[in-house]
Amino acid sequence: MSEQEDDIILSELDDNELVQQMYDDLYDGLKEEIEEAVEILLERGWAPYRILTEALVGGMTVVGNDFRDGILFVPEVLLAANAMKGGMFILKPLLAETGAPRVGKMVIGTVKGDIHDIGKNLVSMMMEGAGFEVVDLGINNAVETYLEALEAEKPDILGMSALLTTTMPYMKVVIDTMVEKQIRDDYIVLVGGAPLNEEFGKAIGADAYCRDAAVAVETAKEWVARKHNQMAAG
């Protein structure tokens, strides 16, 4: 199989074949091949946003579905994400120049006392792929950091992540502080992380718990559309 793959010359494939090949290469975590294919599509006049959505996000959706279904595991998803990141790196400056549609804006970060960011990074990347502007606060964020970012960035969504049972209650500290400052309803609050569940999300006053990056994107789109409809009606 590898011999056959070695023989594939990406530039000789037509657009459809190339996109299909990018799906395969993303699935196999082949970063250099993805970067090359992105360059080829750009040369052929594809708009950056089209490459992002049809080739990269399309391919990562397959990866996400197979992860959800237990066919792929964390290492394979990380390799695929790393390959997509290579493509995104090329596209990102071009997306800004070409005025790609913006679905909404999200501030995201891992909570205080927690250094885990694999899930958060996947969510950030998939949200960007779906047309959201993402401000990533990184790891170990205190409530003050979240509030400052909300004030400065004016996002639609606040996303919080935690991997530890000991750190996940901190999400409630952030939400309670937002309630106290009467800004809770100004934002959509989404939470995620391995030890969380829907019940926990509800209990702490989040709008939704997101099981994985794909669910986060769908939930974010749904809530942003709902928010815009409410604003239009109001």
Partner 1 sequence: MALDDDALTDHGLTAKGAGRILLLACGALARELIDLRDANGWDHMDLHCLPAILHNTPDRIPDAVRAAVEKHRAGYETILVVYADCGTGGMLQKACAELGVEMIEGPHCYSFFEGNAAFAAREEFTAFYLTDFLVRQFDAFVTKPLGLDHHPELREMYFAHYETLVYQAQTDDPELTKKAQICADRLGLRFERRFTGYGDLDPVLRAL
Residues within the interface to partner 1 (CB under 8 A): 73-76, 78-79, 82, 113-118, 139-140, 164-168, 194-197, 200
- Can you tell me the distance from the alpha carbon of 219 to that of 217, in angstroms, rounded to the nearest whole number? 5
Minimum CB separation of residue 49 from partner 1 in Å reads 27
Minimum CB separation of residue 114 from partner 1 in Å reads 7
Decide whether 80 or 157 has the Cβ nearer to partner 1: 80
Residues 6+ apart with CB under 8 A from 33: 10, 21, 22, 25, 83
Minimum CB separation of residue 195 from partner 1 in Å reads 3
**C-alpha pair distances (Å), 150 with each of 102, 143, 233:** 18, 11, 25
Return the DSSP state at 12.
G
Decide whether 51 or 191 has the Cβ nearer to partner 1: 191
Decide whether 116 or 188 has the Cβ nearer to partner 1: 116
Decide whether 73 or 89 has the Cβ nearer to partner 1: 73
Structural contact between residues 220 and 209, judged by C-beta atoms closer than 8 angstroms: no
Decide whether 41 or 163 has the Cβ nearer to partner 1: 163
Minimum CB separation of residue 174 from partner 1 in Å reads 17
Minimum CB separation of residue 164 from partner 1 in Å reads 7
Please give the single-letter amino acid code of residue 65.
N
Tokens standing for 9? 């010359």
Phi, psi of 136 (to 5 degrees): -100, 120
